[in-house]
Amino acid sequence: MSNNASALNQGLLDQIDHFVVIMLENRSFDHMLGFLYTDQNNVSPLGHPYEGLTGEESNLNSQGEAVTVFKIPSDQHPYFWPGSDPGEGYNNTNSQLFGNYRTPPEGTRACNTGFISDFAYTLNWQRQDNEKKPGSWQIVEGTTEESIMGMYTPELLPVLSGLAKGYAVCDHWFCSVPTETLPNRAFVQMATSLGRLNDHDKKYNAPSIYNLLEQARLSWSIYGYEDEPILTRESLQALPANPEYGSFGNFAAFKQAAADGTLAHYSFLAPEWGSKGNSQHPNYDVAKGEQYLYEIYQALKASPGWQKTLLIITYDEHGGNFDHVPPPENAQQPLDCPDNMGFNFQRFGVRVPTVLVSPLIEAGTVFRIPEPDTDLYGNSQAPTAFDHTSILATVEKRFNLKPLTTRDAAAPDIGPVLTLTTARQDDPLENVVVPKSQGLPPLEGNGDWSKADHLQQAEASLASQLPVEGDYHSRYGEHWPEDEDGVKHYSRYRYHHYYYGRYQEENS
């Protein structure tokens, strides 16, 4: 198969009836998959060049010494690297890419040399915060500024790596905006963040892919893990009211739909947040994310609809973890995304791992946009890179839907990765040993694993504004006051803290 997308078979996308998207948390491409093909000098078995690590990539530490990337040791709590939560916001990302937190002048190419210095800064204020407010941050004992240069190996991540080698890996897939979680999760749903660059604003009032599917009478589902997907559902304020073709459920419901052959045309899975969850957000257990991916894959592989299913595994953003490839600067600015902090939404975020799984994909595929004849970065004639809105563009192309914004209208679709006219019968994970969770490692000082993370807090904040009904009423209803209309709500401040305490209890 050629690596040039223009030469690929464009006609197999109509063989896909079920798109399944799982978006995990806060890991860069190099951090998770940089060493995927180093045993073959960064060339896949099909002869595709692979933009991985050579082992010579480096950043300077606070002493001015070059620290090269290294493989995470298997005997040092390997599934809890880099040891703390790196900076993931817009200013942190600027610092990591450009060496300065301010928005760079237009046309400035990233050098990707500020990851250690930004992690050192982040660790310093986290430790100071822990002294003032014990337990505020979870820092694994032994974590240093150089820990940010630790990279996973296929041996540590046999599920993600096995799927990447066994099907297709995208080595030029960038998050949609160079910042943290919620704006990027907005882009994968709506092709816009409405100009937002941080997680402070949790509600987005714009049409989403679910509106397009509902209008076209196509089925869609959003799944949480243990519970329904409160964070995803409640952040999307324009979701269809009383949908006829949409549904919400937990992971058990997803597995049942797969087993029954009743998967929706489009399914979006959200992981479980927090220290006992499986989102892989630093600084939580990556092994649990491996287990989650394995369960998703096995459910789909056993489904009657497997041959017509495309699984897309991706990560919302890089989470402050090292990557050596500068993000392209030719992103299309959505019309409803006004400039913010001097940023015009025309630069993509950092590379993130993206793996495409289907029996219609040839094993060993490295998938990317066509290579331009001129510089990819800043050249208006260069092809647009893959980002999260490529998922939307693919679904829109398959079902003849109109784009949501100018961003997904310009995004390349991933249909050309489907090149096999006969579905494969093999299983690349047949002999894989799935990593086991090894327990929580010791933390510095007064570290507390039970503290809720910012996504749990965001979910609790959104849930605090919901009427109490159904399962939530039976579990928490007796604790909530009634408003002037006699409706019980989570929204009173002290009761919001009670709900927030639920996460602390479940993570203790």
Q: Is 302 exposed, middle or buried (0-12, 13-18, 19+ CB in 10 A)?
A: exposed
Q: Please say if the pLDDT value at position 127 is more than 60.
A: yes
Do 359 and 500 share a structural domain? no
Q: What is the pLDDT of residue 5?
A: 39
Question: How many Å apart are CA 136 and CA 57, to the nearest integer?
Answer: 33
Do 219 and 120 share a structural domain? yes
Residue 469 in domain:
yes
Q: Which of the four pLDDT bands, split at 50, 70 and 90, describes residue 457?
A: confident
Do 470 and 412 share a structural domain? no
Q: pTM for this structure?
A: 0.91
DSSP secondary structure code for residue 443 in this structure = B
Query: What string of H, E and C letters represents the secondary structure of 366-407?
Result: EECCCCCCCCCCCCCCCCCCEECHHHHHHHHHHHCCCCCCHH
Do 108 and 36 share a structural domain? yes
Pairing assessment for the beta strands 354-357 and 173-174 based on DSSP bridges: unpaired
Q: Please say if the pLDDT value at position 479 is more than 60.
A: no
Q: Please say if the pLDDT value at position 482 is more than 90.
A: no
Q: Which of 136, 171, 201 is nearest to 53 (CA)?
A: 171
> Which residues touch 100 (CB under 8 Å, ≥6 apart)?
94, 114
Which CATH number fits the domain that encloses residue 381? 3.40.720.10
Residue 452 in domain:
no
- For the segment 275-288, the average pLDDT, to the nearest whole number, is 96
Do 332 and 217 share a structural domain? yes
Do 490 and 372 share a structural domain? no
List pLDDT tens digits, range 83-101: 999 999 999 999 999 999 9
Residue 449 in domain:
no
For residue 176, give the H/E element and its range: none
Q: Please say if the pLDDT value at position 373 is more than 80.
A: no
Residue 89 in domain:
yes
Choose the final residue of a domain: 382, 401, 417. Answer: 417
Q: Which of the four pLDDT bands, split at 50, 70 and 90, describes residue 498?
A: very low
Q: Which of 119, 27, 236, 150 is nearest to 127 (CA)?
A: 119
List pLDDT tens digits, range 227-267: 889 999 999 999 998 999 999 999 999 999 999 999 999 99
Do 26 and 84 share a structural domain? yes
Do 235 and 119 share a structural domain? yes
Q: What is the pLDDT of residue 371?
A: 64
Q: What is the pLDDT of residue 379?
A: 53
More confident of the two residues 384 and 36 = 36
Question: How many Å apart are CA 59 and CA 111, to the nearest integer?
Answer: 10
CA 480 vs CA 275, 353, 452, 470: distances in Å: 27, 42, 21, 14
Domain tally, the chain: 2
Question: How many Å apart are CA 318 and CA 119, to the nearest integer?
Answer: 13
Q: What single-letter amino acid sits at 96?
A: Q
Q: Which of the four pLDDT bands, split at 50, 70 and 90, describes residue 316?
A: very high
Q: What is the pLDDT of residue 383?
A: 79
**Residue 117 contacts residue 104 (beta carbons within 8 Å):** no
Q: What is the pLDDT of residue 468?
A: 55
Residue 424 in domain:
no
Residue 458 in domain:
no
Do 411 and 471 share a structural domain? no
Residue 327's SS3 state is coil
Q: Please say if the pLDDT value at position 484 is more than 50.
A: no
Q: Averaging pLDDT over each range in 428-432, 437-441, 466-470, which range is the top one?
A: 428-432
Q: What is the pLDDT of residue 381?
A: 60
Residue 422 in domain:
no
Q: Which of 286, 292, 294 is nearest to 152 (CA)?
A: 286
Q: What is the pLDDT of residue 10?
A: 58
Q: Which of 369, 343, 426, 424 is nearest to 7 (CA)?
A: 369
Residue 438 in domain:
no
Q: Which of 191, 155, 179 is nearest to 410 (CA)?
A: 191
Q: Which of the four pLDDT bands, split at 50, 70 and 90, describes residue 445?
A: confident
Q: Please say if the pLDDT value at position 124 is more than 50.
A: yes
The range of the structural domain enclosing residue 489 comes to: 464-506
Q: Which of 37, 160, 39, 158 is nearest to 431 (CA)?
A: 158
Q: Count Cα atoms within 13 angstroms, Cβ side, for 75.
A: 0
Give the total residue count for the chain. 508
More confident of the two residues 449 and 434 = 434
Residue 240's SS3 state is coil
Q: What single-letter amino acid sits at 115?
A: F
Bond preceding residue 82 cis, omega within 30 of 0: yes
- For the segment 312-319, the average pLDDT, to the nearest whole number, is 99
Q: Mean pLDDT of all residues in the chain?
A: 89
- For the segment 301-315, the average pLDDT, to the nearest whole number, is 98
Do 265 and 134 share a structural domain? yes
Residue 337's SS3 state is coil
**Residue 156 contacts residue 325 (beta carbons within 8 Å):** no
Question: How many Å apart are CA 398 and CA 357, to the nearest integer?
Answer: 17
Q: Please say if the pLDDT value at position 9 is more than 80.
A: no
Do 142 and 15 share a structural domain? yes
Q: How many helices (DSSP H) and strands (DSSP E) are in the chain? A: 14, 14
Q: Which of the four pLDDT bands, split at 50, 70 and 90, describes residue 69?
A: very high
The pair of three-digit structure tokens given for residue 471, joined into one six-digit string: 């399962």
- For the segment 473-480, the average pLDDT, to the nearest whole number, is 42
Q: What is the pLDDT of residue 144?
A: 98
Choose the final residue of a domain: 382, 417, 452. Answer: 417
What's phi and psi for 343, nearest 5 deg? -100, 135
